[in-house]
């Protein structure tokens, strides 16, 4: 699944879908302190966060002192470079381990962020690459959740393990793992119900799912994916903190980047936590899923078009 994606197509799609670029610099505007201050405000408004914004501005001022920011294009290119540098440490695609069978992916996150959608998209992508997989409907809270997962599964004949509404999600995960093991499945993807990071009892339920999987295979879950709605702003940072404390998040997915002007949260999350960002969700369709890549993302965010920055 770790095929290199075309940077150009990623960039154009992201540019097209992001509601607007984070940074706006009027053409012909002199690069001076006033402009840098405006940029600072724009970065903060886009949820880049105080710490990451400070880092970016410090580096920009170094560029200004060295006379590297001659015009708006040079400024944008420097910004892209700086942001790419901040994002590069978290740009690690998910690698499905060879000896781990089944490789277990557990998806967690608050309500409605796009967990089930991302898992459906991933299932289609993995399946189309010849990976033998299974889905587990660990969201037993909403009756429609099972059907939603089954609908994704049916598109590529991916088996979906489910139990009646109200069943213990840890039991679903347990049975699904045994079924996956018995059938020689490569990848088991476990969906879970959305829950607020502040709901202690529901966070305990997640820990239990995790424990059950670890009992079956000490290395499982091999990936604990926290799905975040990119539009939720700084609250996403609290979600990372609390889900990480509860279940040990190993990868992030940022969804709904197509509908937000606040994609800067990706930078804030990268700088604050250093947790790998695996995928971006750019819409509701099956192919609206991209592996995270630092430089094209930085370019799209800053509003550099393909014409000037292929």
Ligand X SMILES: Nc1nc2c(ncn2[C@@H]2O[C@H](COP(=O)(O)OP(=O)(O)OP(=O)(O)O)[C@@H](O)[C@H]2O)c(=O)[nH]1
Binding status of residue 232 toward ligand X by CB under 6 A: no
* Residue number with CB closer to ligand X (1 or 286): 286
What are the strands, taking DSSP E only, across the chain?
A: 103-108, 133-138, 160-161, 187-192, 223-229, 251-255, 277-281, 289-291
Binding status of residue 76 toward Mg ion by CB under 5 A: no
- Least distance from ligand X to the Cβ atom of residue 256, Å: 4
Are residues 36 and 64 in contact, defined by beta-carbon separation less than 8 angstroms?
Answer: yes
Candidate list 6, 8, 45, 111; residue touching ligand X; CB under 6 A = 111
Taking CB within 5 to 8 Å according to partner kind, which of Mg ion, ligand X, none is near residue 113?
ligand X
Residue nearest Mg ion (C-beta atom): 116
Binding status of residue 140 toward ligand X by CB under 6 A: no
Count residues near ligand X (CB under 6 A): 21
Residue nearest ligand X (C-beta atom): 194
Peptide bond preceding 221: is omega within 30 degrees of 0, i.e. cis?
Answer: yes
Contacts with 79 (C-beta within 8 Å, 6 or more apart), sequence order? 23, 39, 56, 60, 298, 302
C-alpha distances out from residue 302 to 80, 131, 135, 234, 264, Å: 7, 36, 37, 19, 10
Residue 307 β-bridge partners = none
DSSP H helices, 129-234, are 143-155, 169-182, 200-216
Taking residues 79 to 118 in sequence order and writing x for each that binds Mg ion by CB under 5 A, - otherwise, the string is ------------------------------------xx--
Binding status of residue 114 toward ligand X by CB under 6 A: yes
- Least distance from Mg ion to the Cβ atom of residue 261, Å: 25
d(CA 38, CA 41) in angstroms, rounded, equals 5
* Residue number with CB closer to ligand X (117 or 140): 117
Binding status of residue 259 toward ligand X by CB under 6 A: yes
CB neighbours (10 Å) of residue 28?
Answer: 7
Q: What is the largest CA-CA distance in the chain?
A: 66
Binding status of residue 262 toward ligand X by CB under 6 A: no
Peptide bond preceding 136: is omega within 30 degrees of 0, i.e. cis?
Answer: no
User: Which string of b and e fits 225-263 if b means at least 16 CB within 10 Å?
Assistant: bbbbbbbbbeebbebbebbbebbebbbbbbbbbbebebb
- Least distance from ligand X to the Cβ atom of residue 286, Å: 11
Among 37-45, 95-103, 112-120, 295-303, which window interacts with ligand X (CB under 6 A)?
112-120
Among 34-42, 181-189, 251-259, 261-269, which window interacts with ligand X (CB under 6 A)?
251-259
* Residue number with CB closer to ligand X (143 or 178): 143
Site for ligand X, rule CB under 6 A: 109, 111-117, 139, 145, 193-194, 255-256, 258-259, 281-284, 288
Site for Mg ion, rule CB under 5 A: 115-116
């Amino acid at each position: 699944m770790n095929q290199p994606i075309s940077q150009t197509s990623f960039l154009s799609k992201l540019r097209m879908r992001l509601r607007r670029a984070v940074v706006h610099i009027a053409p012909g505007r002199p690069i001076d302190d006033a402009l840098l201050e405006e940029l600072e405000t724009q970065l903060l408004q886009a949820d880049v966060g105080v710490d990451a914004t400070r880092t970016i501005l410090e580096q920009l001022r170094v560029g200004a002192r060295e006379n590297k920011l001659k015009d708006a294009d040079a400024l944008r290119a420097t910004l892209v470079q700086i942001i790419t540098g901040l994002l590069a440490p978290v740009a690690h695609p998910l690698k499905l381990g060879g000896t781990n069978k089944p490789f277990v992916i557990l998806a967690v996150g608050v309500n409605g962020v796009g967990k089930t959608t991302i898992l459906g998209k991933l299932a289609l992508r993995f399946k189309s690459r010849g990976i033998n997989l299974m889905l587990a409907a660990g969201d037993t809270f909403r009756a429609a959740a099972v059907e939603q997962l089954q609908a994704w599964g049916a598109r590529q004949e991916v088996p979906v393990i489910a139990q009646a509404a109200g069943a213990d999600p840890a039991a679903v995960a347990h049975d699904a793992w045994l079924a996956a093991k018995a059938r020689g499945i490569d990848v088991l993807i476990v969906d879970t119900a959305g829950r607020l990071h502040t709901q202690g009892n529901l966070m305990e339920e997640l820990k239990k799912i995790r424990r059950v999987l670890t009992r079956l295979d000490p290395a499982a879950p091999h990936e604990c994916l926290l799905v975040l709605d990119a539009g939720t702003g700084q609250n996403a940072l609290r979600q990372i903190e609390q889900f990480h404390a509860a279940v040990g998040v190993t990868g992030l997915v940022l969804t709904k980047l197509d509908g937000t002007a606040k994609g800067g949260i990706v930078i804030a999350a990268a700088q604050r936590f250093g947790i790998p960002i695996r995928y971006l969700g750019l819409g509701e369709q099956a192919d609206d899923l991209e592996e995270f890549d630092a430089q094209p993302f930085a370019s799209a965010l800053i509003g550099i078009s393909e014409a000037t920055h292929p």
